[in-house]
Structure formats: C-alpha cells, structure tokens
Structure 1
Amino acid sequence: MAAEREARERTASGATAAPRSRNRLDQPKLPGRRLLPEWDPEAFGRFSERIARFLGTGRFIVWMTVVVVVWVLWNVFAPRDLRFDNYPFIFLTLMLSLQASYAAPLILLAQNRQDDRDRVNLEQDRKQNERSIADTEYLTREIATLRIGLGEVATRDWIRSELQDLVKELEEHRVDGHRVFPSEANRGRDTDDL
C-alpha cells in the first residue's frame, strides 16, 4: 500500500511512474513453465523407427514366442507359491495388450516419418523431372535451330551440281575450240558485225 501511495505521489508531483511490467511485442516471450516434459521430436522419431524395425523382424517373433512359452510353462508347472499368473493368464494378456498398445502408435509414427521422407523424395524427383524436361525442350529447340540453319548452308552435293551446270554452260559457248565466257563471245560477234 505504501509503495502504491508513493508512486501516485511521484506521478502527481511530476516524477515519472515506476515502469510497469508489460509484454513487449518486439522481444520474444520468455519461456514459461511447462507441465509436460520436453523431448527432441527427431530423437523420439528415430527411436520409434528402430522399435518399428525391430517389431517387424523374425527375431522379435521368436523372442516373443519364447517369452510367452516360458511364461505359460512357468505358471503351469512351477510350484504354486512361485506362480505369479494362474491359468487364465490374465497378467500375460495384460502385458501383451500393453505391448500392442505401445507398438501400434510407434509403428504409425515410424510410418508417418517414412511418408514424410517419401513426400520429400517425390518432390525432389518431380523437380528433377521438370528440370530434365526443360533441358530436353531447350536441346530440341537448339537442334531445330541447327537444322534450319543447315538447310540454308550449301552442301557438297549442291555445290557439285552447280559446278556441273556451269561447266555444261561453258561447253555450250565454245568458240573456235576455245572455251570462252559467254560475255566474251558476245563481244566478239559484235565487232565482227561492224
């Protein structure tokens, strides 16, 4: 009470008030107490995958069978004072149910993690396929451009045929056994006519 009165008097007299404790939006909130224990989800996921991998092996089935057989034999043939689970084997049923109730969620967790990995791999494969398709389309366009460019380039056979046509034309314009260009042959005729 006295502290509040002093604060009011300071505010009334022009002094600044004591700073209030309020949440600042520009700073992260301090972690509070948690009721539940904290664990690393990755470590727990790896642990669940190891268990799921073990539960899916023949070794687990063999060990489980051995435990159940020893349990039943012990509780049937051991002296009455040492038996801990008599004939309907209710405790064995409880233990097997408990094991199954923990195994099922762990297996589901491992499957979910595998699904997540598969989804990431599928996404990477899809992106790789898109890049491959883009590269293939680019190369196809380049090859088409080269074919168009080669269509305009003189080939050896085309040059040979053009040269043969020129040779035939020159042979047609022979004057007096000499090969003469057609323009020279025309000039000669023009001078003879004068």
Structure 2
Amino acid sequence: MATNPELVKCLVDNREYEVEEVVLLKDLAPDLRNRIKADNPKARPQDFICSHHLLKYRLAGVDAFINTDLKQSGKINRKLTKALQSDDYEVKDVNSQLANSLTVGQRIADDIARFGGSWGFIIVFTLVLLLWMSVNSLGLFGIRFDTYPFILLNLFLSCIAAIQAPIIMMSQNRAADRDRLDAENDYHVTLKSEHELRILHAKLDHLSQNQMPHSLEVSKIEIEILSEIRSELVELRLRQESLEQSFDELKSKD
C-alpha cells in the first residue's frame, strides 16, 4: 500500500503520512473501528488512518456517548415528571376539603359531639343532676316540681340520650370520611414513593450500565490521546536534537 518505505496512505483522505503519524485500523478498539468502517466501507484491517482523522473519530465517539447518556437521562426525567403530574399521585388537603363540604347541621353535630366527650360536659351534667335532685328533695326555694323517684328527670335524661346518640353517630360518620381521605392520601403518597424508587433504580442502572462504562471509555480515549501527544512531542524533540547536531556539524566544518 505504501509508495515509499517511510510513507503510507491514510484510508480517509488517501494522503501520504509518515509511519509515526498513522495507526493500523486493526489495532483500534472495536467500537472505534466500526465507526470508521461505517464512513469508509472499503476500509480493511491492514489499512492505516492518520492521527488527525483518528482524533476526529475519537471525539465523535465521545460526543455520541454524551448524547446517548443525555437522551437516556432526559427520557427518565420526562417519565418521572409525567408520572408525578398524574392524578394518581395527587395529595389532597383533608382539613380544607372537609371544612369546605361541612353543612350547618354537620358543624353543629361536630360541636355537640366534641362537647359531649369533654370534661366540661361531665361537670355541667353532674351539677345539673345535683341541683335538680337537691331542689326537688329538699324543697329549695319552695319548689318541688319532680319529687322522688324523679320521673321527669328520667324522661329528660332519656330524651338527651336519644338525641345525643344520632348526633354522635353523625360526627363519627364525619370521622370515617376523614379516615377514608387520610387512607387515600396515604395510598397516593405510597404509590408516589414507590414510583420514585423505581425511577431512581432505573437511573442507578443507567449510571452503572451506561454512564460509568462510557466515562471509562472517555478516560481511555483521553489517555490514548495524551500518549500520542507525548509520543509526538518526543519525536519532535528528537528531530530538534538531530537538526541541532547536524547544524553543529556543518558549523564545525565551516
């Protein structure tokens, strides 16, 4: 292939280069070799490629790695954004929703149930019973409207119990609605967390299976480029020393 013992042709531009400036195609990494063959279908393993074009293909490979990783990361991020915008992950403000849906009757029922389950109700109810029985037993103020066995008091207590029971049940229904909404929120939060974990695992898999190998490949390319630059610098220094030596010899002859 070479027209000169010291010159060989580059398979890309068919220009002649010195042997130190070219690399055998078969000595390159498979991915890089396939990339070169894609643009030069007639290339053979024993062909040469110059350092200039080899650098372009290596940089193109780095760009391909970066673009592939960016596309994959963007795809994962779009998937996460789309999933989080879904109604399945909507977390509702339970207090605000219940407060806006309360009717006057439900508010009164909640207030009565809240008061009926407090120490204030027990104290007031006890005082009313003591006052009632004291007035009718001792005849305080000269009044005895419900003498022993306090039939009117029993009727009054029965009426209170009959009215208070459905009121408490209405309040319990409200509590059941709150529990249901809380359970729905817990479900949405759990579903959201599970989906985030799945996407996080996908990102970790992408990092371990794609980005890390690509980073190692880029580092390898950088090392190869630096090694070639170092070799060229050494070659230039040797040529400079040879020229200086030749110049000194010519100068000494003069």
TM-score grouping bracket, smaller chain normalisation: 0.5 to 0.7
Q: Of residues 131, 142, 156 in structure 2, which corresponds to 1:95?
A: 156
The one-letter code sitting in structure 2 at the alignment partner of 1:130 is L
- In structure 1, which of residues 137, 141, 150 is the aligned counterpart of residue 212 of structure 2? 150
Residue of structure 2 in register with 1:134 after alignment = 195
Deviation at 1:129, TM superposition (A): 1.6
Structure with the largest fraction of strand: 2
Size of the aligned set, in residue pairs, is: 128
Q: CA RMSD in A?
A: 3.0
Deviation track 1:119-162 (CA, whole Å, cap 9, x = no partner) reads: 01211221122112111211210111011320343279978998
Asked if 1:82 corresponds to 2:163, the answer is no
Measure how far apart 1:78 and its partner are.
Answer: 0.7
* Deviation, structure 1 residue 53: 0.1
Letter in 1 for 2:213: G
**In 2, Cα distance between equivalents of 1:111 and 1:160:** 71
The 10-residue stretch of structure 1 (76-85 or 148-157) with the greater mean CA deviation from structure 2: 148-157
- Partner secondary structure for residue 106 of structure 1: helix
Assess if the C-alpha contact under 8 Å between 2:109 and 2:167 holds in 1. Answer: yes
Pick closer, same or farther for the CA change 1:136–1:79 going to 2, 3 Å. closer
Distance in 1 (alpha carbons) for counterparts of 2:191 and 2:218: 41
Unaligned runs of 5+ in 2: 1-100, 232-237, 239-254
Q: Secondary structure at the match of 1:154?
A: helix
Q: Whose helix proportion is higher, 1 or 2?
A: 2
Secondary structure of 2:215's counterpart equals: coil
**TM-score, with structure 1 as normaliser:** 0.57
Q: Percent identity?
A: 32
In structure 2, the CA distance between the partners of 1:123 and 1:41, relative to structure 1 (3 Å rule), is closer
C-alpha separation between the residues in 2 aligned to 1:49 and 1:104?
12
Instruction: Determine the C-alpha separation between the residues in 2 that align with 1:93 and 1:55.
Output: 19
Gap regions ≥5 residues in structure 1: 1-39, 171-177, 179-194
Q: TM-score, normalised by structure 2?
A: 0.44
Q: In the alignment, is residue 68 of structure 1 matched against residue 155 of structure 2?
A: no
Q: 1:43 to 1:86 in 2, by over 3 A?
A: same
Q: Which 10-residue stretch deviates more, 143-152 or 48-57? A: 143-152
1:75 aligned partner, one-letter code: N
Higher relative contact order (CA 8 A, sep 6+): 2
The structure whose Rg is larger is 1
SS in 2 for 1:153: helix
Q: 1:111 aligns with which of 164, 169, 172?
A: 172
DSSP-derived class of the 1:137 partner: helix
Q: 1:58 aligns with which of 119, 124, 127?
A: 119
Shift of 1:41: 7.2
Matched residue SS, 2:216: coil
Is the CA contact 2:137–2:148 (under 8 Å) kept in the aligned structure 1?
Answer: yes
Separation (CA, whole Å) in 2 of partners of 1:127 and 1:79: 64
